[in-house]
Amino acid sequence: MRKTLISILFLVQILSTTYTNAQGYNIYSEPRDKQIFDNYISVMKGKERLEIDKIIVETAKFFLSVPYVAHTLEIEPEGLVINLRGMDCTTFVETVLALSRTVKEGEPTFEKFCDNLRFIRYREGKISGYHDRLHYTSDWMYENEKKGIIRRVIHTPEWEPLFLNLHIMSSNPGKYKQLSGDDSLKETVKNIEKDINTRDHFYLPHSKIQKNASLFKSGDIVGFTTKIDGLDVTHMGIIYKEGNNLTFIHASLTHKKVIVNREPLHTYLSNTKGTGIILSRAEN
C-alpha cells in the first residue's frame, strides 16, 4: 500500500509542475506544455522574419483540433497558467499572441513565452492576485494597447459608440470561486468595472460587417459584442481571410476544439445573436 501511494505521488509530481519564480508568483504547467512548445518552435523555424499578423495566423493554425477546455486558469493562488493542451476562446487568443511575439523576438525560449503570456494576460503584466487578470475583453484590448502589444482598430464613421455597463462579475460573486465570500476582492473588481465603463468604446455593428470586409486583416483579434446585461463580449478569435471569405479561427465550445469557422463572420454573428465586433491588430 505504501509503495502504491509513493508511486501515485511520484506520478502527480511528474505530470504537474508548479514553481515560484524570482518575481514571486506561481507558474503552473505540465511537462507536455514544454514538449508542445518545442514542437511549435521547430515548425516555426525561419518564420521570425514574417510580419506579426502572418505569424499569428500560422500559430493559430498550429493549434487546430486542440481540445476546447474551459476554466483552465482558475487555480489558487493566482499564478501564470501555461496550458497548450487545451484552451478556451480567451486562452487560445492569448497563447497565440504570446507565442507569435516570442517567435518574432528571435531566440525563442519557453521562459520568454511565459514572460510574454504574463505580460499579455495581466494588468501591467503584474500578478499579485485575481483582480490583476484582464477578465473583460474590452479591458484586455485597452490595456494591451497601452503596453504597445496591439492597437484597437476603429474606422470612423463605420464604428459606433459602445456603451458598457459592466457588472456581471461583481453582481454574481457566487459564480466565481475567487470572489465568493471575499467582499474586499469583490469591491476591487467592482471598481475595475466602473473604471472600464467610463472609457470610450467603439464597435462595428453586425449590419456593417459585410460591406466593410476590407477593413479586416488576417491575424486581427476579434471580440464578439453582446446584449447580455453587464457583459461586453461573449467570444474571441483570430480573423482569417481566404479569398473573399471573411471568417475566423477560434476555440469553439460547440465543436469542442480549435477550428477554422465554416461560416462567414457575419453569419456566425447572426446565429449567435451577437450585436457586432470589436477589433484589434498586433503591433510588430
Q: What is the DSSP string of 88-105?
A: -HHHHHHHHHHHHHHHHH
Taking the CA atoms of 82, 85, 87 and 91 in sequence, report the sign of the dihedral they define.
positive
Cell numbers 456593417 correspond to 208
Contact 103, 59 (CB under 8 A): yes
> Rounded to an integer, what distance in angstroms lies between the CA atom of residue 119 and that of residue 98?
9
DSSP secondary structure letter of residue 148 = T
C-alpha closest to that of 151 among 219, 234, 205, 198: 219
- The two most distant CA atoms of the chain are separated, in Å, by 71
Strands 26-29 and 257-260: unpaired
> Rounded to an integer, what distance in angstroms lies between the CA atom of residue 229 and that of residue 138?
15
Contact 160, 202 (CB under 8 A): yes
Task: Show pLDDT as tens, one digit a residue, over the chain (284 residues).
Answer: 434 433 333 333 334 677 667 567 899 999 999 999 999 999 999 999 999 999 999 999 999 999 999 999 999 999 999 999 999 999 999 999 999 999 999 999 999 999 999 999 999 999 999 999 999 999 999 999 999 999 999 988 899 999 999 999 999 999 999 999 999 999 999 999 999 999 999 999 999 999 999 999 999 999 999 999 999 999 999 999 988 899 999 999 999 999 999 999 999 999 998 999 999 999 98
> Rounded to an integer, what distance in angstroms lies between the CA atom of residue 33 and that of residue 26?
16
> Rounded to an integer, what distance in angstroms lies between the CA atom of residue 61 and that of residue 79?
27
Single-letter amino acid, residue 226: T
In this structure, which topology does domain 2-164+201-282 adopt according to CATH?
A: Putative xylanase fold (1.10.3670)
Q: In this predicted structure, what is the pLDDT of residue 6?
A: 34
> Rounded to an integer, what distance in angstroms lies between the CA atom of residue 249 and that of residue 236?
9
Q: In this predicted structure, what is the pLDDT of residue 22?
A: 55
Q: How many CB atoms lie within 10 A of CB 13?
A: 10
C-alpha closest to that of 274 among 242, 258, 250, 257: 250
Q: Is the peptide bond before 108 cis (omega within 30 degrees of 0)?
A: no
Contact 240, 213 (CB under 8 A): no
Single-letter amino acid, residue 235: H
Across the chain, where does the E strand assignment appear? 17-20, 26-29, 79-81, 150-152, 160-161, 202-205, 221-225, 233-242, 245-252, 257-260, 276-282
Contact 18, 27 (CB under 8 A): yes
Taking the CA atoms of 275, 276, 280 and 281 in sequence, report the sign of the dihedral they define.
positive
pTM of the predicted protein model: 0.93
